[in-house]
Structure 1
Amino acid sequence: MKKELSFLFLVVGVLSIAKAGDRPFPSVKIANGVVQATLYLPDTSVGFYRGTRFDWSGVIPELVYEGHQYHGEWFTEHDPLGHDGIVGPVEEFTPLGFEQAAIGDAFVKIGVGSLVKPDEKPYAFHRRYAFSDRGRWQVKAGKQQVDFTHVLNTAGYAYVYKKTVQLPDGAAKMVLTHSLENTGEKVIETRVYNHNFFVIDKEPTGPGYRITLPGDTLHPIGAKGLNDIARLEGNELIFLRTLKRGEQAYFADLGGGQPVDYDITVRNVKSGAGVRITGDRPISKMVFWSSPTTVCPEPYLDVRVAPGETYRWTIAYEYHRNTQ
């Protein structure tokens, strides 16, 4: 089945309309008999997320394993153009060519498109930048996986970015497979991180969560809420109390500025739902952030792709029930 979502978007597979309240959003559902997930699809006019911060692919509002929900809306009001109007294990790339661009010229966000630099102020992820070129999206959906492809050739950069969200046969697992092919003449040098946005069984952020992060000792670099909201014990982050409205726990780099293995565990000790996250590339910067409604380990990867080359990385989520 083929269905036009807009003049830039093509979906091949099973297309449905998901609703948040009375709002319809193009989506697909995938399942492997163990895990079920809903994915929102890129769409310039009615997509759930149409902002200029995050990669538009792989937005997951719902993922269920053994009756436990791992993602969901963590905000009270949804703005599809807002920088945080997004859910699930979503990724963001640092911009390409922003500092070199003159006012009115374009710079690039991978998975978003080409954006206009409005003034000489430094780049800020929370600003809403105007689009110059959204590129071209293609989505292919099957029963157990969705393949996203974003093609862009603008502002001196050209790439083919692919992400596959897969639920392997019979496994309590989700795998995100990425490739970034540099089809232009400029070197692509960026950082990409996964924000994750866990909302496990709607548990508010607090002692119900336990976070295990890579490294023998965590470093409280750029900490907010240390020993008030949360404390560090070895390689664990433990919440001391439930966050109040407007509060946050934040650590700028728990890896202490050194690369660490990609191995993170998030547990909801009240409901018994847990997830282990592993990757095949080392984490260059280990950030952690949480609000009262979501828990977000944010592992960064350094990406450098010469013209004609392709950079690949994979992230796996293994879901489990806690036994302690």
Structure 2
Amino acid sequence: MYYLENNRLKVEIQEPGSFYKGSRFDWTGFITQITLDGNINYCVPERLEEGKGTGGLGLCNEFGIDMPIGYDAIEVDELFPKVGVGLLKKDQDEAYDFFKTYEVFPSEVKIEKSANSITFETTNYSPMGYGYHLFKEVEIVDNQLIINYRLENTGDHPIYTNEYSHNFIGINNELISEHYQLKMPRMKEIDVAVGSISRSQDRLTWPLTPDGDFYAHIDWEVKNGTYNWDVFHDKIGAGVRELSEFRPSKIALWGTNHVVCPEVFIDIKLKPNEIKSWKRVYEFYQDKEV
């Protein structure tokens, strides 16, 4: 396990292949706890029930949830790349399913750490000619957590995929209730597919603790703004906002009784030898007046 720490934040990062060994989430930069000012914790697991879910916890990102690289071009028992994980085996002639556990042939990861940052580098090349090099830096500056990504297509074929961070947020382990609010200033419309969410202009709330999952698609307005989303707990007086500046390809919201997860996606299209860079910025804060 690795730690980044300054006078505001303490960030807990798992070594690739130790805490999480699944086929869904990126093994690099897997953040399992973030503590602000020594008394506010933000990260919770995907599921509280033992053996349920896909192993998500804290801030963990995923490449290709619905755009797996090269999956449709290969046959059963052949391998396809999952960025940040390694090569996965296609074991059935069926559509890719991120809930499914695939056999993993993990990538080797080069790690370098300094006082306020840690970097991960991993390269993979599939037998069918799909290849990538991923560089990821996790850095803390005052009360901000910054994750820098650089993905290079090192293979023979174009890469069409996407990436998002599954932000499993539960402030000080408080259940979702009327004390939580999620503000999304660029939201135009919300399509709630599962569960119940209350809306008032750009603010989403939960009058009651959910008794099951909730899921929604967000219709997003491309315009300037100081943040994309902001989760705040009015009783604790603490929150986190995401300040990433890239143009999202889609926005989703998932959660259940103990966790709320705003998800901001970015599309990735790379010809061989092309590189794409982007970053995610999170700001953690306390409202001293609450």
Contact 1:149-1:162 at 8 Å conserved across structures: yes
**1:109 Cα deviation after fit:** 1.0
Contact 2:81-2:125 at 8 Å conserved across structures: no
Q: Specify the alignment match of 1:15 in structure 2.
A: none
For the residue of structure 2 that corresponds to 1:190, the secondary structure is strand
Contact 1:192-1:302 at 8 Å conserved across structures: yes
**1:192 Cα deviation after fit:** 0.8
Cα gap change, 1:193 to 1:260, in 2 (>3 Å): farther
Q: In structure 1, what residue type is equivalent to 2:194?
A: K
Matches of 2:189 and 2:12 in 1, distance apart? 34
**1:260 Cα deviation after fit:** 6.7
Under a length normalisation based on structure 2, what TM-score does the superposition of the two structures give? 0.91
Cα gap change, 1:135 to 1:61, in 2 (>3 Å): closer
Q: Specify the alignment match of 1:223 in structure 2.
A: 193
Q: Within 5 A, what are the aligned runs for 1:2-21?
A: none
Q: Give ranges in structure 2 of 5+ residues lacking alignment.
A: none
Q: Specify the alignment match of 2:234 in structure 1.
A: 269
Q: Within 5 A, what are the aligned runs for 1:74-85?
A: 74-76=46-48, 84-85=54-55
Contact 1:83-1:128 at 8 Å conserved across structures: no
Q: In structure 2, what residue type is equivalent to 1:255?
A: D
1:148 partnered with 2:81? no
Q: Give ranges in structure 1 of 5+ residues lacking alignment.
A: 1-26
Which structure has more relative contact order (CA 8 Å, sep 6+)? It is 2
Matches of 1:260 and 1:248 in 2, distance apart? 30
Q: Within 5 A, what are the aligned runs for 1:87-102?
A: 87-94=57-64, 95-102=68-75
Give the paired residue count: 282
Cα gap change, 1:119 to 1:104, in 2 (>3 Å): same
Q: In structure 1, what residue type is equivalent to 2:58?
A: G
1:35 partnered with 2:5? no
**1:259 Cα deviation after fit:** 5.5
Q: In structure 2, what residue type is equivalent to 1:201?
A: N
For the residue of structure 1 that corresponds to 2:177, the secondary structure is coil
Cα gap change, 1:74 to 1:98, in 2 (>3 Å): closer
Identity %: 27
Q: Specify the alignment match of 2:219 in structure 1.
A: 255
Under a length normalisation based on structure 1, what TM-score does the superposition of the two structures give? 0.82
**1:83 Cα deviation after fit:** 5.9
Q: Specify the alignment match of 1:243 in structure 2.
A: 210
Matches of 2:54 and 2:180 in 1, distance apart? 22
**1:216 Cα deviation after fit:** 4.7
RMSD, matched Cα: 1.9
1:297 partnered with 2:268? no
